[in-house]
Amino acid sequence: MDVYGVIGNPVGHSLSPLMHQAALDALGIPARYVAFCVQNLTAAVQGIRGLNLRGVSVTLPFKTEVMDLLDGVEAGARAIGAVNTIVNDHGRLTGFNTDGTGLIRDLREVMDIEGRRFAVLGAGGAARAAVFGLVQAGGIPVVLNRTARKGEALAADFGCTFRPLAEAAGVEADCLINTTPVGMAPGDDRSPLPADVPGRFPWVVDIVYTPLRTRFLREAAAAGCRTRSGLGMFIHQGAEQLRIWTGRTAPVDLMRRVVEARLIKAG
């Protein structure tokens, strides 16, 4: 029986075990997917080799730090500066990042990306994955961030423009995407932008999926925008992980159903 897992701290609320176990079972792959709460990252990564874990998801706060501990990092993950997926090939560990691909696959379900403008809110690891994915897919990102220095650095790395967060209302774009953690449970009911700003964009996307309806999305919907939660991105980044680990096409509809049911039950 192969073992897969997620490493992070904390991982108690991770939905990856639920999603991946359902997918592995549906594919008939005899494997277990386990959440590991990491106390020592170097020892944990060595443990992947020692215990022959076949594939590992990486979550906060280790997505960047883990890169130096691997034997190789794929070019996209290196450009993003973060790894969310590790493949173990007979003790040789390679890092990938499927977050950008996950976002693009989800957006493609509802919109065209090539030639369209995307206002990307934030400049952390999630924003870097989003901007990388959008540029790869022919989209035109505009980075908006509270701290100008960080936003400018991200924009420069990917050849796009930067605007201060305070100027968000003046940015012309087909879609506004929040990549910051603002509005995520169990934080308070906050939005990264004043309520009158999202209404200026035809599409408003939040990569947060806990809760499914963030204040940001609720205010956007009330202003007449079409909205998308981070659930689809989460499912698609996991589907791409499964493809990398097993070569199989993941049952995305099933994965979405089980995760959505859990999120709705959790309120």
Which residue in 228, 257, 265, 246 sits closest to 102, CA to CA?
Answer: 228
> Position of tokens 């215990």?
51
- Residue 91 region, left (φ>0) first, then alpha (ψ -120 to 50), else beta? left
Binding of residue 163 to ligand ATR (CB under 6 A)? no
Query: Toward ligand ATR, which CB reaches closer, 168 or 263?
Result: 168
Segment contacting ligand ATR by CB under 6 A, of 140-148, 197-205, 217-225, 248-256: 140-148
Among 100, 102, 125, 139, binds ligand ATR (CB under 6 A): 125
Residue nearest to ligand ATR (CB): 124
User: What is the C-alpha separation between 209 and 13, in angstroms, rounded?
Assistant: 12
- Tell me the C-alpha to C-alpha distance, in Å, between residue 63 and each of 9, 53, 98: 11, 18, 12
User: What is the C-alpha separation between 190 and 187, in angstroms, rounded?
Assistant: 8
User: What is the separation, in whole angstroms, between the first and last Cα of the chain?
Assistant: 34
Query: Toward ligand ATR, which CB reaches closer, 48 or 58?
Result: 58
Segment contacting ligand ATR by CB under 6 A, of 44-52, 96-104, 174-182, 249-257: 174-182
63 is catalytic: yes
Strand residue runs (E) in the chain:
2-8, 31-37, 55-58, 72-73, 85-89, 92-96, 117-121, 140-145, 161-164, 175-178, 203-206, 226-228
Binding of residue 145 to ligand ATR (CB under 6 A)? yes
Query: Toward ligand ATR, which CB reaches closer, 150 or 243?
Result: 150
CB of 64 to ligand ATR, least distance (A): 8
Pairing of strands 140-145, 161-164: parallel
User: 85 to 124, contacts with ligand ATR by CB under 6 A?
Assistant: 122-124
CB of 54 to ligand ATR, least distance (A): 26
Binding of residue 83 to ligand ATR (CB under 6 A)? no
| Residue tagged active-site, from 4, 5, 45, 63 | 63
CB of 157 to ligand ATR, least distance (A): 14
User: What is the C-alpha separation between 236 and 28, in angstroms, rounded?
Assistant: 20
Query: Toward ligand ATR, which CB reaches closer, 24 or 127?
Result: 127
Query: Toward ligand ATR, which CB reaches closer, 57 or 179?
Result: 179
CB of 179 to ligand ATR, least distance (A): 6
CB of 61 to ligand ATR, least distance (A): 9
Binding of residue 147 to ligand ATR (CB under 6 A)? yes
Query: Toward ligand ATR, which CB reaches closer, 145 or 246?
Result: 145
Strands of the sheet with 31-37, listed across from one edge: 31-37, 2-8, 55-58, 85-89, 92-96, 72-73
Q: What is the DSSP letter of 12?
A: T
Number of H helices, E strands in the chain: 9, 12
Site for ligand ATR, rule CB under 6 A:
122-127, 145-147, 150, 179-182, 192
> Which residues are marked as active site?
63
